[in-house]
Every structure is written in structure tokens, then in C-alpha cells.
């Protein structure tokens, strides 16, 4: 009789152990899909920014304000719809009045400041930098910020991950180096600052439990900073309809929603992996240029794409070595 009671327990434990690898695969697949969507959004954002600042007459301060403001409004509407759907209809009136406060309790002012600094510095830097130079400076600064912080907090890279990191960097250099020229010092400093700010924003996002509300709160807090920027640069303000359209699309879709996806992906990524995977953005942006702008496909581009994406895969998929707790 006792054996009959023990057998179901053994069977249950066996099923649990067999399902563990499956759940790990599902979790890894989910993280990879979210990361891929976020990188596509970032690449699309780069294309929109390039088109607006190079092909229209919108100024960088106005573009930054429209981008942040439209992102804040889109996320605010998304949060209102979600909350309205989750409350009882009999309390809809009161929930409408109270639903504004939680958004301001989510996110933080330091994250909002990092978001604003990234957006503003990015816009102003691209007035004088070429796309290749800007991408190299931006993502180099992102990597340095996030990987150094990860190492400081005890993260360690294995040999395969180190090889993947250098492989991705090599591919990126191969892609952008032939078109590089001596960049202006002021614009280079701005783009490096944008990379550091984006790295800080990404690192702070790893601790957020609710990606959507945290992103909405950060965008709402960043609006006053963007407003102050427009006021300061009011004498040089100029907008046109194409520039406004690019800015709103960049803010509401590829920035606002893209950052929500990125915050959710960050929960499953180490800082070093989150830094390295962003090296794929310039490659994806170049792909968008080929598909949307009619740029030619070259052997150099194909080799660089394979190298960068292969290096990213090695860093993200390879298990991290255990932490040395004695040093923490």
C-alpha cells in the first residue's frame, strides 16, 4: 500500500525534472524574440531620426521634444486603456480620476533624465556626424557603460562570450570603418554622452517589474526636460510636416513601444549581453537602408552582418560563468 502512494510522487518528480529544460527553452525563446523586436524598433528609430534630421528642416530641439512628448502621450493612452479594461464599470468614473497618479509613481526622475539626455544628445550629434561614425561612437559608449557596470557588479564573461564580443565589435568596425572620417570633437562628445545615457537607462530598466508603466512614467517625466530644451533653443526653432511626422512616429512607435519591449527583454539579459546585442542595431539599420532607401547590397555588408549577429548570438546564448561571491 505504501509503494502505491510513493510511485505517484516519483512520477510527479520525474515529470517536473523533464519539464525543466522545456521551460528554460521557452523562456530563452521569449527573451530572444523580445530582444529581436526591440533591436528592430531601435534600428527603425535610427532610420526615422536620420530621415528627419537630414531630409527635412526640423531642428534637433523640436525633434527631441516631439519625439518624447508623442511617446509619453502614446504610453499614457496605452496605460489608460489597460486600466479601464481591468476595473469594474461601476467604478469607471473614479478610476479615470485616479488613474493619472500611478503613472507618476512608476519610473524615476534619474531614468527620465537619462532618457532625455540620450534623445537630445543623439539629435544634436547627428547634425554633424555621419551615420557610421555616430553608430560606432554611440554603441561603443553603450557597451563600455553596461559591460563595465556588469563587471563591477560581479558578472563574468566566459571565453566563448569574450570571443563573441570581439567578433561582434570586429563586424561592426568592418561595416562602418570604410566610410569614417575625422569626426568633429563636439559632436563626438555629444554622441558618446548619448551612449552613456542610454547605457544607464538600460541598466536602470533591469530593476523594473512592470516595463510598460515604468517606460510611461519615464517618458512623462522627460517631457519637462524636453520643453525646457525647446524654450532655450526657441530662436532657432523650425518645423515642417514631414519632420513632425517622423518625430511622432519615432516617439510613439519605435521609441515608446520599443522601449517597453526592451525593458521586458532586459529582465532576462545580463548587462554584458544587453550591451553586446545592441551591436546588431547598426546592421539592422543598414538592412533598412538597403530595403527602404535602395542602397546596394555589398559583400562587405553581408560579411559584417554575419560577423556581428554571430558574435551577438555567442554572447546571448552561451551560459554565463558562475559569480565569484568572495569578491562581492
Helix H or strand E segment including 111: helix 109-125
Structural domain of residue 238, as residue ranges? 38-321
Q: Is residue 74 part of a domain?
A: yes
252 assigned to some structural domain: yes
Residue 149 C-beta-side C-alpha neighbours within 13 Å: 19
Q: How many CA atoms lie within 13 A of 280 on its CB side?
A: 22
Q: Residue-wise pLDDT tens for the chain (328 aa)?
A: 444 555 555 544 554 555 556 677 777 787 888 888 888 888 888 788 878 888 899 999 999 999 999 999 988 888 887 776 655 444 444 344 344 445 567 788 999 999 999 999 999 988 877 666 777 778 778 877 887 787 787 777 788 888 887 887 787 777 766 665 556 778 888 988 999 998 999 888 776 677 778 888 999 999 999 999 999 999 999 999 999 999 999 999 988 888 788 877 877 777 667 767 777 777 787 777 777 766 667 777 778 778 877 887 777 666 656 544 344 3
Yes or no: say if 53 and 218 are a contact pair by the CB < 8 Å rule: no
Beta-carbon contacts of 22 under 8 Å, excluding residues fewer than 6 positions away, are none
Is residue 33 a part of any domain in this protein? no
Number of Cβ atoms within 10 Å of the Cβ of 245: 16
pTM recorded for the entire structure? 0.73
Give the three cell numbers for residue 156: 563574468
Q: Give the model's pLDDT for residue 242.
A: 93
Instruction: Evaluate whether residue 26 is within a structural domain.
Output: no
Query: Is 326 contained in some domain?
Result: no
- Report how many domains make up the chain: 1
Separation of alpha carbons 118 and 62, rounded Å: 15
Task: Report if residue 271 sits inside a domain.
Answer: yes
Query: Is the separation of the CB atoms in 264 and 249 below 8 Å?
Result: no
Residue 227 is assigned to a structural domain of this protein:
yes
Q: How many CA atoms lie within 13 A of 105 on its CB side?
A: 5
Name the grid cell of 228: 525646457
Residue at 21 is within a domain: no
Three-state secondary structure call for residue 279: coil
Residue 132: the pLDDT is 64
Give the list of residues 6+ apart from residue 50 with CB closer than 8 angstroms, or none.
126, 131
Query: CA–CA separation, 265 vs 271, rounded Å?
Result: 11
CA dist., res. 256 & res. 118, Å (int) = 14
Angle formed at CA 94 by CA 251 and CA 83, multiple of 5 degrees: 40
Amino acid at each position: 500500500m505504501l509503494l502505491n502512494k510513493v510511485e505517484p510522487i516519483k512520477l510527479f518528480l520525474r515529470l517536473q525534472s523533464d519539464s525543466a529544460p522545456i521551460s528554460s527553452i521557452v523562456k530563452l525563446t521569449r527573451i530572444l524574440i523580445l530582444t529581436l523586436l526591440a533591436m528592430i524598433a531601435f534600428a527603425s528609430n535610427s532610420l526615422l531620426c536620420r530621415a528627419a534630421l537630414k531630409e527635412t528642416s526640423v531642428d534637433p530641439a523640436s525633434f527631441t521634444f516631439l519625439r518624447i512628448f508623442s511617446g509619453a502621450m502614446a504610453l499614457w493612452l496605452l496605460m489608460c486603456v489597460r486600466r479601464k479594461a481591468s476595473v469594474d464599470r461601476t467604478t469607471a468614473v473614479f478610476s479615470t480620476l485616479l488613474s493619472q497618479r500611478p503613472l507618476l509613481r512608476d519610473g524615476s526622475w534619474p531614468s527620465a533624465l537619462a532618457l532625455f539626455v540620450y534623445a537630445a544628445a543623439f539629435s544634436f550629434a547627428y547634425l554633424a556626424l555621419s551615420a557610421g561614425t555616430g553608430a560606432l561612437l554611440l554603441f561603443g559608449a553603450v557597451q563600455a557603460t553596461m559591460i563595465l557596470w556588469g563587471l563591477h557588479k560581479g558578472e563574468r564573461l566566459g571565453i566563448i562570450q569574450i570571443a563573441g564580443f570581439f567578433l561582434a565589435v570586429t563586424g561592426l568596425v568592418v561595416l562602418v570603418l570604410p566610410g569614417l572620417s575625422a569626426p568633429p570633437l563636439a559632436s563626438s562628445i555629444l554622441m558618446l554622452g548619448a551612449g552613456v545615457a542610454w547605457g544607464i537607462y538600460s541598466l536602470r530598466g533591469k530593476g523594473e517589474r512592470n516595463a510598460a508603466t515604468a517606460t510611461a512614467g519615464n517618458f512623462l517625466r522627460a517631457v519637462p526636460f524636453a520643453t525646457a530644451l525647446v524654450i532655450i533653443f526657441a530662436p532657432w526653432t523650425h518645423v515642417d510636416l514631414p519632420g513632425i511626422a517622423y518625430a511622432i512616429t519615432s516617439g510613439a512607435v519605435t521609441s515608446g513601444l520599443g522601449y517597453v519591449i526592451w525593458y521586458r527583454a532586459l529582465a532576462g539579459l545580463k548587462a554584458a549581453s544587453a550591451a553586446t546585442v545592441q551591436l546588431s542595431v547598426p546592421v539592422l539599420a543598414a538592412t533598412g537602408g538597403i530595403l527602404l532607401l535602395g542602397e546596394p547590397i555589398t559583400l562587405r555588408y553581408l560579411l559584417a552582418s554575419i560577423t556581428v549577429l554571430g558574435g551577438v548570438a555567442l554572447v546571448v546564448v552561451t551560459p554565463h560563468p558562475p559569480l565569484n561571491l568572495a569578491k562581492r
